[in-house]
Amino acid sequence: MPEIRECIAHFLLLLHLLKYFHWRSYRPWALLEIWTDARVDQVAVVKKNGEEEGGAKSGDHPEWRRMRKGLPFRVTQDSSATVGPKPVSLWPPDIKDAKDLSARMRLEGVEYSPRDLYLNFGHRWFTFKYLLHSSVHMYKPAEWAVLREMPQSGRAYKFSIVFVFQTAVIAFQSFDANVQPGWELACPPPKPNICPWRSDDPYPENVPFLTHFAAFLRTVWEKPWKKGLAIEYIRKIGDDFPGVGAYSASEIFAYAGLPHDLTITELFNCPSRVGRLLEAGYTLAHSGWTEGFAVFLKRALRGGYLVAPTIEDRLYCASRYFLVWAKESTKVSDRMGALYEMAKNDFAGCQELEYDVFEPSLIGVAFKRKMHLGPLIFGRDFWRKNHADKYGMPAMDPVSEAFEKYKFACKDDHLHPDEYYSPGPPLVLSPARLQERKVETFTFRMGKKIAWSLTAPRYGLRRLTGDDREMRFAATIIQTKLQVSVGPLEYSGNALGFRKRGNGRRGVHVALCKGDPGMKQGKIDYWPLHLRGQARAKERIAISLMQKRISMVVKAERKKKGRAALQKKIRDYHKVVDDVVVQFGRGRKVKSGNRDAKVVKKRAGRVKIVKTRRSVDKHLADVNATLPDGGHDFDSEGRRRSKRQRVSD
């Protein structure tokens, strides 16, 4: 299930990129080409056909030639290219050829849905359903000229679908091509939207969503079965509560003060808990609109358009974007800390949880709407007496009406009566008071998924502790592994950003991918430096975790294995660089960020790479001179172009 905050962040990112490249709805861009990467099964079939037919026939087909080399290929009207769990042709219906494509397919607009992204091409609407590890980026034509000749071994992602225009390229990228595109005659009907953003209203109303969810509640109450964990169930109801993936479920439950081992009955039969669930979902989506792009993604933009986060950017996002997910500890208010300790004591004494660990300030944004659910959460009488003067007394909302009609026996709101009354502490505390105590998070395994919580479990869920837990912290993953964590900056399709090395150097050095010829600057090759930094961090963390439990002999053995793993990664990287040199060379001199090379044929099926030393500045000048728009400048912070260059741009 796609995470709602990431869908919002990528929509805002695409709007920003279109503005950067001067797209306007009244001047739609003509679609020139469509490209994609082959799926694993397609590559296997092509290679098998090539072996059976001696390579002659498969070698003559342009698509097959590029598939066999791990390169993206251009989609045509005769292509059989499909993408997605439900295979869909990437060529638009009723389009005859490339000329017809540019004449009838023009980018006229972009629309948002809590689970999808819609591109209006006039003749057809393109729908893109975010699945696992998928993101959207835009490149200059010069950068696309490099990336389309980059084999998959040189990048950590695949091109699911790429739209090429005259002035820019829109690329949908994913780690494993696990996306679901589609072509529609008209814009699909809107999905339920828990936070329908409007630029003129900072706290938009969501009454249509509440009405839809009230109807959904009636279907849940009428079902005879209500077993199973609620946190797993809400991830399966994407049509009624969209955008809730693994981390969103944990965050929503933590914001709402809900125990992660609640059953479906315990959640949906309790008015207060349902109200907190909905307001927490609203708050999470609202933070996606106000923070996801503006605070975190924008920070990682290089040159105004290329997403290339550094390690520092990713750690900043991991520490501030989440309340509990993949964090060792978090800061809470004094009253939430007291409820946290009470829940721990209940767990230690094998007693039922008396009060939920709930802090209203975490969902304070939701109380700024006219039709909020404060009375449903605390009870209408309690709300009227204590908080109606400050936050208003909204009319009966659709969810409250549904509970009134069904008259549930569950009257307990599971809230501590002494924590939220007035006069007393404000219902919504100041940001400073939300940082008064530091508490440890809990980590559970539920089936194949992991959940993070501030409430100790009751029903014997498998709790992760020790090394198994600590190696799942976002900070550990970011500093020690090549894989990504979760969040708006955690996508394998992002460019790579490195803090510049050398005396007096400032700013960020950027490479499109690990095989980018610009990875090396002068004598500094940034990818091996990055690998060595990760190895040092991993060794440091491993030693701190196991210092008291392993002997010096075991420590030395672990260090030896770590060094061997590092050397293997560096050898693999140099092999990738050689593959890129061969791909870009083809008998002519290649300007590579790692080296210059000339591909010389030795005998059939083999090549010899003749290496020569050459200045990277000269290499980049030559490469940029051959590219359509004069090349690219990644480092907006470090380089200052002359007035003459700015005018020409």
DSSP secondary structure string for all residues of 74-98:
E--TT---EETTTTEESSPTT--SH
The mean pLDDT of 47-59, rounded to a whole number, is 52
* Structure tokens given for 219: 């279907």
Q: What is the DSSP letter of 519?
A: G
- Residue of 153 and 178 predicted with greater confidence: 153
- The Cα-based distances of 508 to 15, 146, 303, 309, 521 in angstroms read 24, 20, 10, 9, 12
Rg for the chain, CA atoms, rounded: 27
CA torsion 85-90-95-99 (nearest 10°) is 180
pLDDT of residue 613: 39
What confidence tens digit (pLDDT) does each residue in 107-162 have?
999 999 888 899 999 999 999 988 777 899 999 999 999 999 998 888 989 999 99
Q: How do strand 180-184 and strand 306-307 relate by DSSP bridges?
A: unpaired
Is the pLDDT confidence value at 192 over 50?
Answer: yes
pLDDT of residue 3: 87
Distance CA 148, CA 507 (A): 28
Which candidate, 486, 3, 452, places its Cα nearest to that of 259?
452
Helices (H), 394-454: 398-406
Q: Which of 314-323, 573-582, 598-607 has the highest mean pLDDT?
A: 314-323
CATH number attached to the domain at 4-37+72-184:
3.20.190
- Which residue ranges make up each domain of the chain? 4-37+72-184, 207-469, 495-648
**90 contacts 83 by C-beta, under 8 angstroms:** yes
Is the pLDDT confidence value at 256 over 60?
Answer: yes
What confidence tens digit (pLDDT) does each residue in 307-322 have?
999 999 999 999 999 9
Which candidate, 454, 440, 250, 284, places its Cα nearest to that of 362?
284
**197 contacts 190 by C-beta, under 8 angstroms:** no
Sign of CA pseudo-dihedral 82, 107, 116, 188: negative
Q: 265: Cβ–Cβ under 8 A, 6 or more apart, which residues?
A: 226, 227
The mean pLDDT of 182-193, rounded to a whole number, is 89
Which candidate, 631, 523, 511, places its Cα nearest to that of 576?
511
Which candidate, 342, 351, 330, 358, places its Cα nearest to that of 419?
358
* Structure tokens given for 543: 């030693």
pLDDT of residue 419: 78
**2 contacts 245 by C-beta, under 8 angstroms:** yes
Q: Which of 273-282, 340-349, 411-420, 603-612 has the highest mean pLDDT?
A: 273-282
Is the pLDDT confidence value at 603 over 80?
Answer: no
pLDDT of residue 100: 95
What confidence tens digit (pLDDT) does each residue in 3-41 have?
899 999 999 999 999 999 999 988 999 999 999 998 766
Tokens 């210092």 sit at which residue? 547
pLDDT of residue 78: 87
pLDDT of residue 483: 86
Residues in the chain: 649
